Each structure stands twice: as C-alpha cells, then as structure tokens.
Chain A
C-alpha cells in the first residue's frame, strides 16, 4: 500500500469529520431537530396538501416522493456550501490553502457527512410519507430505492460543492442557496410534472440534479425494476460527477487566484 494513498484517505476521513464537527458546532440537537426533522416534514406536508388541493387526493404520492427526494438538497446545498464556505467565514481559509494536503481529499471530504445526513433526511421523508400521507411502498424494491437516494444525494451534494466555491467569492451565498433550493422545487419536477412546463424549462431541468432521481424514485415506487431506471440513474450520476468536477476546478482556480493576487482575505 503506498503511503500517499493512506495519507489521503486519512485526510479525507479526518477532514470530513473535523470540518463537520467544527463548522456545525452550532447544530445542537434542538436546532438539528428543527432544521432537519420538523422543517422537512412541514415542507412535505405543505406541498403535498397544496398538490392534493390542486389535483386531487389520489395524487398525494407524486408530491410526497418529489418532496422527500428534494430533501437531499437541504444537506446537499446548505450543508455542503456551509462546509466549504465555513473556512472563509471562520478565518481558517489561509491555513487551509497553506497546507500541502491533497486538495481533492480535502474538498470532497467536506461533502461526506452531508451525503450521509442527506440520505437520512430522505429516509425520514419517506417515513413521514408512509405514516402520515399513505405512501405505498409495497411494490417498491427498497435496495433500488436506496441506490436512487444515494445517487441523488451525490448529485445534489455536487451542486453544493460548486455553490460552496461561490461562497468563497460572495457574501450573499445564503441568498443564492435559498433561491437555488426553491427553484429546484419547480425545475426538478418535485411538484410539477415536467411535461407541463414550457419547453425551455424542461431542457434546463435536464441539466440539474434531482430531476432524474425523482423520476427514477417515482418509477421504482410504482413497481419498476432497477433495470428500468438504469438510464435515469446513470444520468443522475453523470450530473453528480460533472457538478463535483466543476466545483473542484473552481476551488483550485480560486486558490490559485487568491495566492497569485494576494486576495485571500479580500475574496
């Protein structure tokens, strides 16, 4: 086993754990319960009830599935962005850029716990859906649904990594986060069937995380198999890779620019 690989794995795990503990120290049990358990439940209830009012009670599961999957964006966008941007706000960015540590391990580690957390959020969302809104999972292959949740969480975390880099150059990242999160409620198909949107919006939606994941989850819950949703899952995974790569490239570019121009504190 070569030494750099072991070092990078250790860096990835330690970095993931420490950044989560350090940057989310504010996340006390009550705050976690409010933001990651109660708020998601309320959001699922609101949009499902709105959907039931608009299209009838029979369509409740359409909204439950869409909004449960959308919860990956809570961890993926807010959590990951705060993990990447937190170093700037807490003044530790210069130290981070000063270390010889492997940047990819550092960067990707920031998303690791939020991926686990995001998956837990979706499981909880489905739990609320089954218990409170009559979501029927009797025809569902649960391992396939689990795989969809994992891939969708990866793709929304990829978007989070990209947006986390933006938090290194703007003070208004929460404005951007909030706007993107709410726009995903429209574009991802969580609440509106994509074919009822204007054509340009349908095309735009295909380039976003969640869109294929939500479609795949709906298909699997309706009884389709993993083979039926492979193209959707493949597409979602590709989106995850593209957004993560873009985020990483941007992260390296910002580091380079900051060092070249001496703008580390000013960006």
Chain B
C-alpha cells in the first residue's frame, strides 16, 4: 500500500468515525446501550456487593464498562452494515472505489470508542456518588489493555457485521447473545463460579482476555507478565478476526455486486 493510499484510507476512517459519532448522539437506543444500561448494571452490582463494594469497586467499574463495550459491539457495530442496507446506501458504498471495510472500520471504531464512556460514567458513579476508593494499580498496563481491547472489539465487529447482514436468521439471535458473553467473559464475577466445562468456551472469547487483562491491571492482582500474556492472546485474536473478516467482506461484496441479492434480503 503506497503512502497516498494509506493517507486516503485514514481520512475515510476519520470521516466515518466523526459522522458516526454525530449520528449516534441523537440515537436513543445507542444512548441506552452505552450510558444507561452499564450504569444500571454498575448500580446493581454496587448495591448487591453491599459492604464488599469498596473492595470490589474498581472491579465493578471495569466490568460494567465492559458490558457497555460488548452490548455496543453486538447491537450497534453488529448492525453497522445493516443500517446502510436499511437506508438504501449499501449499494452506493460497495460501488465506491473506497473499500467498504475501511468505512465499517471507522464506524466500528466510533461505536467502540464511544462506549468507553460507560466505563468513565461508572467510575464517576462509584467515586462521587458512592464515595468509594478507586485506584488503578498498574495505569500503564491498564491503558495498553484498554487500547488493545478497542482494537480487538473493533476487529470482532468486522466479523459480526457482515455475518448479520448476510444471515438475518443469525441476527435474530442477537438478543440471546448479550448476557452469555457477560457471563463467560467474567466481566462482573470470576468464571470460576461457572461449571468447568464452560472454561474452554471462555478461552476462545476475546472479551474474556480483555476482561482478564483489564481486571488484572486495574486491581493489581495479576503480575505484569501475566497481563502481557493476556494482551498477546488478545492481539492474536484481533489478527485472526481481521483475517476472517476479509473473507466475509469478500463474500458479502460478491452477494452485492455479482448476485445483486444483498439489498433484497
């Protein structure tokens, strides 16, 4: 890829990012998903923990923020191509010289980045309203974990968006896919509470490694080496997701350009 092309793609990602943010601030469903729901989950968890809330505060803040990230990825990034189909712009997008993957990457980056607000809000809720002590034990590693979590979630979004647009039947299961990831990824309680047979399922979920790294870095309970291993696995997953997404986007473009059937589904 030459430098001009790279610059052009970055510009497209930037425009898609800004445009998506502007559209999202007036969308009630998105506001609920990234602000209200994680905040209510944080409130619930803080009250449920009762006298243990102080010692678990940072765990709850990070965990409820992750629920916002996952729900946003599932419902908003998952529909990032479908939305174009619903408003009739998908055909124009695939006919453009700019790769649709680049545009969807920019959109997903906006969705995932904005959902970090949920973590920030939970932080203020626990800190200001509940007056709980909140400290991040390894801030450097926490920031690195957050950055790689965004990359992994955006990459995952590049898989589910074309799957949802090509298979409306799978999209029908969206509602059923929200809580299992909260549970299996250990967002708000350790997966040790679950039966042993579910552990391998957790291990193949990138959100599990993201949660493990973020919880480990924020609480300081994981050693730096352990966190770096988690992040290495997260990078591996991101790479695999991007490779798979290339194939999925190719199949989707074929359906649109050659079969001309995508918009009719």
Residues of A within 8 A of B (CB): 28, 30-31, 33-35, 38-39, 42-43, 45-47, 49-55, 172, 174-175, 178-179, 182-183, 185-186, 191-192, 196-197
Digitize B43-58: 1 where CB-to-A-CB distance is under 8 Å, 0 elsewhere: 1110111101000000
B129: shortest Cβ distance to chain A, in Å? 11
Digitize B17-43: 1 where CB-to-A-CB distance is under 8 Å, 0 elsewhere: 000000000001101100011001101
Question: Which residues of the partner chain B approach A182 to less than 8 Å between Cβ atoms?
Answer: 36-37, 40-41
Q: Is B264 an interface residue (CB 8 A)?
A: no
Of B48, B174, B179, B183, the most chain A CB neighbours within 10 A belong to B48
Q: Is B91 an interface residue (CB 8 A)?
A: no
**Complex Cα–Cα for A156 and B65 (A):** 29
Kindly report which residue of chain A lies nearest to residue B67, judged by CB atoms. Answer: A46
A34-B49 contact, Cβ under 8 Å, with A49-B183, A178-B32? no
B180 touching A55 by the CB < 8 A rule? no
B28 touching A172 by the CB < 8 A rule? yes
Majority secondary structure, B binding face: helix
**Complex Cα–Cα for A42 and B174 (A):** 12
Question: Which residues of the partner chain B approach A55 to less than 8 Å between Cβ atoms?
Answer: 48, 50
A225: shortest Cβ distance to chain B, in Å? 30
A42 touching B47 by the CB < 8 A rule? no
With an 8 Å Cβ cutoff, the count of chain B residues facing the other chain is: 32
B176 touching A34 by the CB < 8 A rule? yes
Question: Which residues of the partner chain A approach B119 to less than 8 Å between Cβ atoms?
Answer: none
A178-B36 contact, Cβ under 8 Å, with A53-B189, A54-B49, A55-B48? yes
Digitize B169-200: 1 where CB-to-A-CB distance is under 8 Å, 0 elsewhere: 10011111011101100001110011000000
A45 touching B179 by the CB < 8 A rule? yes
A4: shortest Cβ distance to chain B, in Å? 42
A46 touching B183 by the CB < 8 A rule? yes
A54 touching B52 by the CB < 8 A rule? yes
Which of B37, B48, B176, B183 interacts with A51 by CB under 8 Å?
A: B48
**Complex Cα–Cα for A232 and B250 (A):** 60
A185 touching B173 by the CB < 8 A rule? no
A31 touching B194 by the CB < 8 A rule? no
Kindly report which residue of chain A lies nearest to residue B43, judged by CB atoms. Answer: A186
A186 touching B47 by the CB < 8 A rule? yes
B31 touching A31 by the CB < 8 A rule? no
A34 touching B174 by the CB < 8 A rule? yes
**Complex Cα–Cα for A30 and B175 (A):** 11
B48 touching A50 by the CB < 8 A rule? yes
A38-B48 contact, Cβ under 8 Å, with A178-B36, A182-B37? no
Which of A39, A50, A172, A175 interacts with B188 by CB under 8 Å?
A: A50
**Complex Cα–Cα for A182 and B29 (A):** 13
B257: shortest Cβ distance to chain A, in Å? 29
